Structure 1
Amino acid sequence: MPKVTVVSSFYNEGWHVKDTLDSILSQTERDMAVVCVDDGSTDDTLACLNAYRDCRVRIVAQANQGLGAALKNGFADADSDYLAYHEAGDDYRADRLERQIARLEAEPDCGVVSCQSRSVGVDKSWTRETRPEATGAADTLLTHNPFPHSGTLYRKSAYDAVGGYRAFFRYRQDLDLLLRLSERHAFAVVPEILVTVLRHSESVSVKPAKRLLARRYREFAVYCASERRAGRSDPLESFGPGAALMRPRSRLMANEFAQEAMKASWRGDRDSARTFIAAAIDEAVTARGLAATIGTHVPMLPQMRAAYQSLRRRAV
């Protein structure tokens, strides 16, 4: 039985396969099983996975179902003590798994251990560091998730106790899992940067439409957590996917969508702006939403944007 199972999911990411597996298999912790899930790729991803040679690597191919289902399937047969996810393209520090396993072995009450992380743009033009704190994780997760998905290790017994990943969550599946884990188990954090997260052109943080969907999934995960913490049943467990329609509307999210609409409009991306405006109005009618609606339809806005960019170029 391996000590740790690492799952990585790929969708049309053949160019990431070798670097991703090299990063996982170069860990100082050698006692591992690696499960690679091809989530219905239409490029050469599956061929690249099958071409990789290492006895610790197992390939699972499935029709495209999203990351939540891919991870649930990837971990389904794991028989190790610890579980970890590695996002395609991310890079582990060589001792990441060793350090985190040692932390969980030293703290048997902990069910989850994470770490600090560094995010890097695909063109290496920017970096950002995140330094989460384990204290108060259950409350922190209700407002934001500072724990890097690729930098978090789960004790398998804790993972199994809460039911693992839920296939419904195509986005923010890690938040949903962490919220459920935080209600039963303590968290720990290794106070060092153990993972570098690659933000490429298809990342959720880059694509406006994906950000919109991810924000909705996040709000639903928090709604489910709030219901559980109030002593009521989990809506997703009780009512299935239709429970997403029961989530209370959010003025905060309406304003966030309106802000995204203004940004898209200023960039000249009217289609994205209209999408965010529709999402904002669906949540609540707010002053910011009305301002975004007006701003998106002002005929002079593209000319104003062009003039602004011209002034910036002259200033430089």
Structure 2
Amino acid sequence: MKLTIISIYYNRQNYVEESVNSLVSQISNEYEVILVDDGSTDNTLDELNKFKSENVKVITQNNFGFTPTIKKVIQNIDTDFVAIHGSGDVSLAGRFDKQLAFLESNPSYGVVGCYCLFTDILTKENVSTFGHNIDGDAQFELLNYNLFTHGEVMFKKSFYDQVGGYREQFKFSQDYDLWLRMSAVCKFHTLKEPLYKRMINVDGSVNSNAQKLYHQLLFSEFAKYCHRNRLANGIDPLDKFGMGSLLAFNLDRSALIKLWKKSVLEGQDFLIYCPKTFLSCLFRFSIPLLSPFSKVISKLFGKNRV
């Protein structure tokens, strides 16, 4: 086996069929798919079990959470490459062959993404196309934003192991923290074609929940804080001081602006869980005033369209 494709599900019974079909339709004798039911309370496990085969394994467990689960799965595989696939998302035809071919042909590269279609799960409409064009050293560009959506990525396991893999302290933004650390040991690349559909407006997803979104922002900014320290003095605060390193971390104004922009564009208050400061209160007051003009404002803000 060369490649392991991993997808972790929690209460996604209605999204299993299309999502997993997009994986099994692409597997070969050199690929395996591992599907994990993370303690679902609906019929997700029954839906996953329909796909069991020689190259498709189904694991069920208590609800341990995404990061500990994916870390454990990767620890127990014996392939050179790992592809992530978000539960409910769709990997388009040719994704795995093309990403694997790139990584095998370019040994100094460890992480490869692709363009993504952001697709409304209710209407199946492709809302936008997302992609950051990267080819090479990503250490400084990653300080500006996460280059990839998690599910589009394939990486080389040797580089993953070199940096210690996912860190369980990151309940959210675990992928961003991993890419930041892997950027010190390998190059990154984006395949310039849409090979992945990321579903939006999914019940329970981070992007539809204000509290989860705020926590994701905190972890994302903390990952960047650790990376800046590694670049400046070679020390990772989390590795050296544990969770005590959070005491020296402050959420800056740019992070609040990100949530404010999302709130205005989507007409929903994602700042509700932020600390109440003059700036956050001002931003929250402006959301209902500006949201009716979201189409015009989106042109001013710009989006990651390709």
Q: Which residue of 2 aligns with 1:174?
A: 175
When structure 1 is superposed on structure 2, of 238-247 and 136-145 the one drifting more is 238-247
The alpha carbon displacement at 1:251 in A equals: 2.1
Change (3 A) 1:250 1:25: same
SS class of match (1:184): coil
Partner SS state of residue 168, structure 1? coil
Q: Give 1:46's aligned residue.
A: 45
CA distance in 2, matches of 1:129, 1:295: 28
Shift, 1:43, TM fit: 1.2
Unaligned runs of 5+ in 1: 310-316
- Distance (Å, rounded) in 1 between the aligned partners of 2:264 and 2:148: 29
Structure 1: distance between partners of 2:103 and 2:284: 50
Q: Is the 8 A contact 1:255 1:280 kept in 2?
A: no
Amino acid at match of 2:196: V
TM-score by length of 2: 0.84
Aligned ranges 1:209-228 → 2 under 5 Å? 209-228=211-230
Equivalent residue number for residue 289 of structure 1? 280
Q: Deviations over 1:162-199 (max 9, x none)?
A: 11112222211111111111111011222211111111
Distance 1:162 1:108 in 2: 17
**2:72 maps to what in 1?**
73
Shift of 1:216: 0.8
Aligned-pair Cα RMSD in Å: 2.7
Q: What is the aligned partner in structure 2 of residue 247 from structure 1?
A: 249
Q: What is the 5 A alignment of 1:161-200? A: 161-200=162-201
Task: Name the counterpart of 1:93.
Answer: 92
Residue 279 in structure 1 maps to residue 278 in structure 2: no
Change in CA separation of 1:248 and 1:146 when aligned onto 2, cut-off 3 Å: same
The CA distance in 1 between the partners of 2:261 and 2:190, in whole Å, is 33
Report deviation, 1:40.
1.9
Contact 2:218 2:251 in 1 (8 A): no
CA contact (8 A) 1:85 1:152 kept: yes
Q: Which residue of 2 aligns with 1:313?
A: none
Q: Is the 8 A contact 2:274 2:280 kept in 1?
A: no
Instruction: Report the 3-state secondary structure (helix = DSSP H, G, I; strand = E; otherwise coil) of the residue aligned with 1:279.
Output: coil
State the Cα distance separating 1:110 from its structure 2 match: 0.8
* Contact map agreement 2:109 2:187 (CA 8 A) in 1: yes
Q: The residue matched to 2:140 in structure 1 has which SS?
A: helix
Letter in 2 for 1:289: S
Matched with 1:230 is 232
Deviations 1:33-80 (A, max 9, x none): 211122221111123223433111222233323221221122111111
Distance in 2 separating the partners of 1:22 and 1:236: 39
Structure 1's 28 and 212: CA in aligned 2 closer, same or farther, altered over 3 A? same
Is the contact made by 1:3 and 1:82 (CA closer than 8 Å) also made in structure 2?
Answer: yes
Rounded to whole Å, the distance in 1 between the matches of 2:107 and 2:285 is: 56
Larger radius of gyration: 1
Q: Offset at 1:82?
A: 0.5
- SS of aligned partner of 1:124: coil
Q: Which moved more, 1:5-14 or 1:137-146?
A: 137-146
State the shift of 1:292 in Å: 4.1
Note if contact 1:27-1:94 (Cα within 8 Å) is conserved in structure 2: yes
Unpaired runs of at least 5, structure 2: 294-306
May I ask how many residue pairs the two structures share in their alignment?
Answer: 289
Which residue identity does 2:68 align to in structure 1?
Answer: A
8 Å Cα contact 1:16/1:89 also seen in 2: yes
| TM-score (normalizing by structure 1) | 0.81
2-side partners of 1:81 and 1:22: how far apart?
23
Q: Closer, same or farther in 2 for the Cα pair 1:194/1:293, shift >3 Å?
A: closer
- 1:294 Cα deviation (Å)? 6.0
In the alignment, which residue of structure 1 is the partner of 2:124? 124
Query: Could you tell me how far 1:241 is from its partner in structure 2?
Result: 3.3
1:130 Cα offset (Å): 1.6
